[in-house]
């Protein structure tokens, strides 16, 4: 029996449904998911410009703390990210139009059975570092071969991305035929949006800002640094709204996930649990808030008992195939490697606990803010619309 955790509503209230509505509004083909409830695709279709701005990490709960902000003033409703609510899974939905059920990307660390290795998907490197896999001849298109949402549309398309991400192998694959527009600061990002929307032709513009997410990871989503950045970002957004006046544009804003802050006492490190670590065939995959466990066959009963006796109140253990069967990752036919990428068991962390499996060569700093779990703070994201 599945415990009461939050499952994304792929029947009409997730970002997978949002992408189907955007596809319909820009002359795209019929997808696998119903449109988003409450968003009029026909009204969007009449706009010359449809803009999808993704602010990485801007959860609905955080935004609700700023009711006087310009972003909140244009809030339509809250919708749901995909599962797990993390950049790898959700941004891949924005860029392919597919839920994880179909694109098969299930977390920052993903076990690729085809390589027999754990890969950090977005940078496209083996976990623990080293050169990009493409440099060793393992092209991202060869192993992932994901479609591009931009290629489904019948209008001109643009992808406005940070300079440091623009040329990555993953981004080039999912950008398809989109015109790539790099930028440095969020102000430059918004200026590029306004510039493109002055052109007469119908278009779809995707823009992505990563700075909020970076600060929330490093300082915590409840920090002064994040609050200050949000207020600056909101001022720039208000200027963008003014700049777009009269351009016949529909500007949508959402996110890929929200955040929780995890203090040091909520951090579970497998270094302190060697008995649990000895049960694993490969390091924990997925996210610190939702971890996939690949367990030695003859240690499964011991693994289950250890979690029950030592992590009770901190984590809930599921058979991974139960979560897949109950549509945690989406609807319809699954990616052929979805089962292999979600492991034997899934640890869903409770409250604001995280679980860390550090490896030699890992250079990830200790974080304050985390995402990827199935709490409301992480799953719910805003849907903002300015017409």
Give yes or no for a contact between 166 and 182, defined as CB atoms under 8 angstroms apart: yes
Q: Is residue 5 in some structural domain?
A: no
Q: Is residue 4 in some structural domain?
A: no
Listed in sequence order, the residues at least 6 apart from 102 whose beta carbon sits closer than 8 Å to its beta carbon are 32, 96, 330, 332, 333, 334, 335
Give yes or no for a contact between 151 and 201, defined as CB atoms under 8 angstroms apart: no
The percent of residues in the chain predicted with pLDDT above 90, rounded, is 84
Position 223 scores a pLDDT of 98
- pLDDT score of 136 more than 70: no
Which residues on adjacent β-strands are paired with residue 204?
50, 157
Structural domain that includes position 359: 264-368
Assess whether 161 and 249 both reside in one domain: yes
Q: Is residue 9 in some structural domain?
A: no
Assess whether 88 and 132 both reside in one domain: yes
CATH number for the domain spanning 302: value is 3.30.1360.180
For residue 1, what is the DSSP state?
-
Q: Is residue 10 in some structural domain?
A: no
Question: 361 falls in which pLDDT band (50, 70, 90)?
Answer: low
Assess whether 362 and 382 both reside in one domain: no
Assess whether 47 and 76 both reside in one domain: yes
Average of pLDDT values for 186-200?
A: 95
Assess whether 250 and 269 both reside in one domain: no
Give yes or no for a contact between 57 and 371, defined as CB atoms under 8 angstroms apart: yes
C-alpha span between 54 and 14 (Å, rounded)? 14
Listed in sequence order, the residues at least 6 apart from 300 whose beta carbon sits closer than 8 Å to its beta carbon are 279, 344
Specify the number of domains making up the chain: 2
Question: 1 falls in which pLDDT band (50, 70, 90)?
Answer: very low
Using DSSP bridges, classify how beta strands 315-319 and 290-293 pair: parallel, antiparallel or unpaired: unpaired
Assess whether 206 and 82 both reside in one domain: yes
Tens-digit pLDDT profile for residues 284-300:
999 999 999 999 999 99
Assess whether 273 and 244 both reside in one domain: no
- pLDDT score of 8 more than 70: yes
Position 330 scores a pLDDT of 98
Give yes or no for a contact between 245 and 194, defined as CB atoms under 8 angstroms apart: no
Q: Is residue 184 in some structural domain?
A: yes
Assess whether 254 and 268 both reside in one domain: no
- pLDDT score of 22 more than 50: yes
Range among 7-21, 108-122, 168-182, 350-364 with highest mean pLDDT value: 7-21
- CA-based nearest residue to 210, from 90, 40, 51, 44: 90
Mean pLDDT score of the chain? 93
CATH number for the domain spanning 66: value is 3.40.720.10
Kindly tell me the sign of the dihedral angle through the C-alpha atoms of 103, 104, 106, 112: negative
Q: Is residue 325 in some structural domain?
A: yes
Assess whether 137 and 209 both reside in one domain: yes
Assess whether 138 and 189 both reside in one domain: yes
C-alpha span between 229 and 235 (Å, rounded)? 10
Give yes or no for a contact between 70 and 238, defined as CB atoms under 8 angstroms apart: yes
Assess whether 174 and 269 both reside in one domain: no
Q: Is residue 2 in some structural domain?
A: no
Q: Is residue 355 in some structural domain?
A: yes
Chain-centre distance for alpha carbon 215? 16
Assess whether 190 and 244 both reside in one domain: yes
């Amino acid at each position: 029996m599945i415990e009461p955790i939050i499952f994304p509503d792929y029947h009409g209230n997730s970002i997978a449904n949002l992408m189907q509505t955007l596809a319909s509004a820009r002359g795209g083909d019929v997808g696998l998911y119903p449109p988003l409830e409450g968003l009029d695709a026909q009204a969007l279709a009449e706009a010359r410009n449809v803009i999808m701005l993704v602010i990485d990490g801007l959860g609905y709960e955080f935004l609700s703390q700023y009711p006087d902000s310009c972003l909140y003033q244009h809030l339509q409703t809250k919708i749901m990210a995909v599962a797990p609510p993390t950049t790898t899974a959700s941004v891949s939905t924005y860029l392919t139009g597919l839920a994880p059920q179909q694109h098969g990307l299930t977390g920052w660390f993903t076990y690729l059975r085809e390589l027999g290795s754990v890969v950090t998907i977005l940078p496209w490197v083996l976990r623990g570092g080293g050169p990009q896999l493409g440099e060793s001849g393992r092209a991202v298109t060869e192993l992932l071969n994901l479609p591009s949402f931009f290629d489904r549309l019948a209008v001109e398309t643009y992808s406005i991305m940070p300079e440091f991400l623009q040329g990555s192998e993953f981004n080039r694959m999912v950008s398809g035929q989109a015109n790539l527009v790099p930028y440095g600061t969020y102000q430059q990002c918004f200026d590029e949006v306004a510039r493109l929307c002055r052109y007469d032709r119908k278009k779809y513009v995707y823009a992505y800002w990563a700075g909020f997410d970076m600060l929330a990871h490093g300082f915590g989503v409840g920090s002064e640094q994040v609050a200050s950045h949000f207020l600056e970002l909101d001022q720039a957004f208000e200027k963008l709204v003014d700049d777009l006046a009269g351009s016949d544009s529909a500007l949508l804003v959402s996110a890929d996930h929200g955040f929780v802050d995890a203090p040091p006492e909520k951090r579970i490190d497998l270094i302190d649990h060697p008995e649990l670590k000895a049960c694993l065939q490969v390091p924990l995959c997925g996210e610190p808030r939702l971890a996939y466990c690949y367990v030695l066959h003859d240690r499964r009963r011991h693994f289950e008992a250890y979690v029950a006796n030592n992590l009770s109140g901190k984590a809930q253990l599921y058979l991974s195939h139960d979560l897949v069967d109950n549509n945690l990752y989406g609807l319809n036919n699954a990616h052929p490697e979805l089962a292999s990428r979600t492991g034997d068991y899934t640890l869903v962390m409770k409250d604001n606990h995280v679980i860390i499996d550090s490896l030699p060569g890992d250079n990830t700093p200790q974080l304050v803010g985390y995402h990827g779990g199935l709490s409301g703070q992480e799953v719910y994201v805003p849907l903002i619309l300015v017409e």
